[in-house]
Amino acid sequence: MTETMTQTENSAEGSAAPKRAALLWAVVAGSVVTAVSTFLAWTWTTAFPGNLTIYGNPAPLQLLTLVGAVLTGLFGLSALGVKGLGWLTPTGARKAVWILALGTFATTLFIAISIIVELGALVDLEPGAGVAVLAAAVPAVASYLLPDDTRKAAPAKQLPSWAEILIIVAVFALGLYIVTFGIDTDDSEPQLFIAYLILVTFSATALVKSGLTRRLSAITARNRQVTVTAAIVMAIAFPFLQQSGDTYTLIAVNILIFATVALGLNIVVGLAGLLDLGYVAFLGVGAYTAALVSGATSSAFGVQFPFWAAALTGMAASLVFGVVIGAPTLRLRGDYLAIVTLGFGEIFRIAMGNLDGTSGPQITNGPNGIPNIPQLEFFGYNFGESHTVFGIELGAYANYYLLMILVMALVVVVFSRAGNSRIGRAWVAIREDETAATAMGINGFRVKLVAFALGAALAGLAGTVQAHVNTTVVPENYVFAGPVPPNSAFLLAAVILGGMGTITGPIVGSALLFLIPAKLSFLQDYQLLGFGIALILLMRFRPEGLIANKRARLEFHENDDDQQVVPEQRQSEDAGVGTAKAGA
């Protein structure tokens, strides 16, 4: 009986192998045809943005389909066992191939539908577009029919140090190009950014499912100094690669300000577990303080501090406000604390609007805010003027971008040191179980107050730069929720979306939540609807966030058979709760 069953199983596996190979060859063939179709014209008129009428020279929209087709074909060849490509799919190829094929098809179909809607008729499509859609559908269907081959990744071979360094540099360079491509998309061509967003989303998901990102995480963990250096160099290189002046550098500056504030909130929410719904008020405190002491013409004080003094004053003011608000309220927990912090945020906004000399003292100029904040100047280097560096002209916003890189680096160091310190372990213990942590001797109130004050100070630092970038400060910039970040709702969403308790998580979340609304401004009233739908989908399929730490992965995927966790950044969450309590 046993021999019969074994023979039956072997027979089934033998008959399944040719079917799997045939489906994979269909994936590869469909990908090749899709790639070739991008060199054909997709429409006959240049009225559609991007000019898809040229043969032999793919337009940016067609390049997206080309990239998706090439990736799908490569992963399909990896699944076929082609020598030299096995490293692409260490945990199995079926899910990765299907997601990539589906993403390529979705991107191509969206472009074709956009042409029809924009130009008004199906006949506006050239045969190249039809070939692209049909060819892209073949890999999507074939890969869906593939049997699941998910497996545990085999231990990766240790590469030479020089090879790992080259991989890290190449990955960061590729990431910089991808980010720059997305930011530089012309606002007059919203179809390009939407298609880019579709392809990047599916491709990133496929890389995670294939296990490739875990291998990369292991490499970066072994070369932390190289990784940090590469990240800093690529970040500094961004403004030098901009060909459109300051148009998109301003977006990058605002992303860095948003991310810096989100990292401060991450201390409060991600590490200490305190739900703060009025955190944007601390950003406002820093901005208003800097505006009042930086020589603005409408300032009530008539003083002009150098920037370093204005930044320290803004941080100190935010820290004091954090202590003043936290001292009487941090004995509350959960929803009660959230309601109190929400009230503080609204009180701050209303108070800034009433300090106009009529409803209150003349300090903030009321709803009109404080305009004409002077540009920063360091040792004769005016941040409001263009400067030529290495033969490349940098605009005003590029100057502020480089300044925010330094501020971001400072905040990352503070977050990392605090999270890995004794107080950081105490924050984690409080977050996991405040009652148990208190029973083990941790002073919960003092620990939470430190988190609240530190988070407020970091937000205040970002606010001092924001005041000079915007050259004006008004109360409407610091609301709980609104269509434009940063506000308290978007800040909290950035922390949760990116991954609570990590460093890279809030940065990625902030970049997405600022960039997407900025690029989808043409949706107008439907922006928040799309944003809400995206958050619902994310919470459904990746509740731990885009870049989650080890603890979050285990909590949300403890029953997943294929869930594997590799060492990542040594955040305080990776320490056990018992260790946290003992250390505190």
Domain assignment present for residue 307? The answer is yes
> How much is the pLDDT for 184?
79
Amino acid, single-letter form, for residue 468: H
Residues 504-531: what's their mean pLDDT? 77
- Domain stops at, among 489, 507, 525: 507
> Are 194 and 303 found together in one domain?
no
Q: What is the average pLDDT score of the chain?
A: 82
pTM equals 0.80
> Are 206 and 275 found together in one domain?
no
> How much is the pLDDT for 482?
66
> Are 251 and 311 found together in one domain?
yes
Residues 57-81: what's their mean pLDDT? 91
How far is it, in rounded angstroms, from Cα 75 to Cα 96? 7
Instruction: State the total domains in the chain.
Output: 2
pLDDT above 90 coverage of the chain, percent: 17
How far is it, in rounded angstroms, from Cα 548 to Cα 208? 12
Higher pLDDT, 420 or 545: 420
> How much is the pLDDT for 379?
73
pLDDT above 70 coverage of the chain, percent: 88
Is 570:504 a contact under the CB 8 Å cutoff? no
- Domain stops at, among 474, 507, 540: 507
> How much is the pLDDT for 143?
92
- Among residues 243, 231, 251, the alpha carbon closest in space to that of 183 is found at 251
> How much is the pLDDT for 578?
42
Higher pLDDT, 260 or 185: 260
> How much is the pLDDT for 558?
58
The bridge status of strand 381-382 relative to strand 387-389 is unpaired
User: pLDDT band at residue 552, thresholds of 50, 70 and 90?
Assistant: low
> Are 111 and 188 found together in one domain?
yes
* Nearest 10 degrees: Cα torsion 354, 358, 364, 365: 110
CA 565 to chain centre: 21
> How much is the pLDDT for 68?
94
> How much is the pLDDT for 91?
86
pLDDT over 80 at 182, yes or no: yes
> How much is the pLDDT for 325?
86
Task: List the single range of 169-178, 201-210, 448-457, 521-530 with lowest mean pLDDT.
Answer: 521-530
Q: What is the pLDDT of residues 284-298, one digit of tens each?
A: 899 999 888 888 877
Is 32:42 a contact under the CB 8 Å cutoff? no
Count CB atoms within 10 A of the CB of residue 544: 19
> Are 370 and 451 found together in one domain?
yes
Domain assignment present for residue 433? The answer is yes
Is 313:299 a contact under the CB 8 Å cutoff? no
Higher pLDDT, 320 or 377: 320
Residue 324's CATH number: 1.10.3470
> Are 183 and 295 found together in one domain?
no
Residue 31's CATH number: 1.20.1440
> Are 197 and 259 found together in one domain?
no
Higher pLDDT, 175 or 543: 175
Task: List the single range of 1-10, 165-174, 242-251, 253-262 with lowest mean pLDDT.
Answer: 1-10
List the structure tokens of 395.
Answer: 């605009």
Residues 290-317: what's their mean pLDDT? 84
Domain assignment present for residue 14? The answer is no
Residues 71-81: what's their mean pLDDT? 90
Domain assignment present for residue 362? The answer is yes
> Are 181 and 275 found together in one domain?
no
> Are 252 and 205 found together in one domain?
no
Task: List the single range of 94-108, 129-143, 492-506, 514-528 with lowest mean pLDDT.
Answer: 514-528
- Domain stops at, among 507, 542, 561: 507
> How much is the pLDDT for 561?
45
> Are 361 and 305 found together in one domain?
yes
> Are 182 and 267 found together in one domain?
no
User: pLDDT band at residue 581, thresholds of 50, 70 and 90?
Assistant: very low
> Are 190 and 251 found together in one domain?
no
Residue 423, domain extent: 246-507
Cβ contacts of 299 within 8 Å, gap of 6 or more:
291, 292, 293, 370
> How much is the pLDDT for 133?
93
Domain assignment present for residue 550? The answer is no
Residue written as token pair 């039809």: 130
User: pLDDT band at residue 545, thresholds of 50, 70 and 90?
Assistant: confident
> How much is the pLDDT for 161?
86
Domain assignment present for residue 232? The answer is no
Q: What is the pLDDT of residues 553-576, one digit of tens each?
A: 666 655 554 444 444 334 333 434
Domain assignment present for residue 564? The answer is no
Amino acid, single-letter form, for residue 173: A
Domain assignment present for residue 3? The answer is no
148 class by beta-carbon count within 10 Å (0-12 exposed, 13-18 middle, 19+ buried): exposed
Count CB atoms within 10 A of the CB of residue 378: 12
